[in-house]
């Protein structure tokens, strides 16, 4: 059973602090699929992640362009699939260049391509928490032993910065 980990944040700043620390431990070839409704915090998280990867000024969501590339300590490919209507469109984008490239790939609306992912990836499900506009839950899911290792590291990071953490597996 892959491990899963749930972390809660109580502000956008806290989300970015968590994401930045995660960005610092990512490596070439890592793929992250973010899933969750509009406003869940996918872009906020991605910006923090990019900062942790050494990107100076990550743009906001690339909704109209589908892909943004940022220069960090390694390249960061930020995809937003909000407007993606079919998996065939992914072929047109030439996504393999991103997935198999020498960088970190972060995908908003990643659930749209989850079923066809050929590689290991870290899945993160984001949602609002009831009762507080500024609370969000992040569920991190491993899809392989390698990613389970990453999930364990994220658990450690979340505890170090004092976030509330629930573990399973």
Binding residues for Mg ion (CB under 5 A)? 42-43, 61, 108
Nearer to ligand ADP, 44 or 155 (CB): 44
Q: Are 122 and 141 in contact (CB under 8 A)?
A: yes
CA distance 34 to 54: 20
For position 35 contacting ligand ADP by CB under 6 A, the verdict is: no
Query: Per CB under 6 A, which region of 33-41, 86-94, 97-105, 145-153 contacts ligand ADP?
Result: 33-41
Residues 6+ apart with CB under 8 A from 83: 63, 66
Provide CB contacts within 8 A for 39, sequence distance 6+: 128
With binding defined as CB under 6 A, does residue 38 bind ligand ADP?
Answer: yes
Report, in Å, the least distance between residue 3 CB and Mg ion. Answer: 26
- Stretch near ligand ADP under the rule CB under 6 A, chosen from 10-18, 50-58, 69-77, 92-100: 10-18
Q: Based on the number of CB atoms within 10 Å of its own CB, is 108 exposed (0-12), middle (13-18) or buried (19 or more)?
A: buried
First to last CA, the chain: 7
Residue closest to Mg ion when measured from CB atoms: 43
Note whether 24 binds ligand ADP by CB under 6 A: no
Residues near ligand ADP (CB under 6 A)? 9-12, 14-15, 36, 38-44, 61, 108, 134-136
């Amino acid at each position: 059973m892959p491990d899963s980990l749930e972390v809660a944040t109580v502000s956008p700043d806290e989300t970015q602090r968590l994401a930045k620390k995660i960005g610092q431990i990512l490596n070439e070839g890592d793929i992250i699929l973010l899933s969750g409704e509009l406003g869940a915090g996918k872009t906020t998280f991605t910006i923090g992640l990019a900062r942790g990867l050494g990107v100076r000024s990550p743009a906001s969501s690339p909704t109209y362009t589908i892909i943004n590339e940022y220069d960090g300590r390694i390249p960061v490919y930020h995809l937003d699939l909000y407007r993606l209507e079919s998996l065939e469109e992914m072929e047109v984008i030439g996504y393999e260049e991103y997935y198999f490239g020498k960088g970190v790939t972060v995908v908003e609306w990643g659930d749209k391509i989850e079923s066809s992912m050929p590689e290991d990836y870290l899945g993160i499900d984001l949602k609002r928490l009831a009762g507080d506009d500024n609370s969000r839950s992040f569920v991190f899911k491993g899809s392989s032993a390698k990613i389970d290792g990453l999930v364990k590291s994220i658990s450690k990071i979340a505890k170090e910065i004092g976030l509330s953490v629930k573990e399973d597996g």
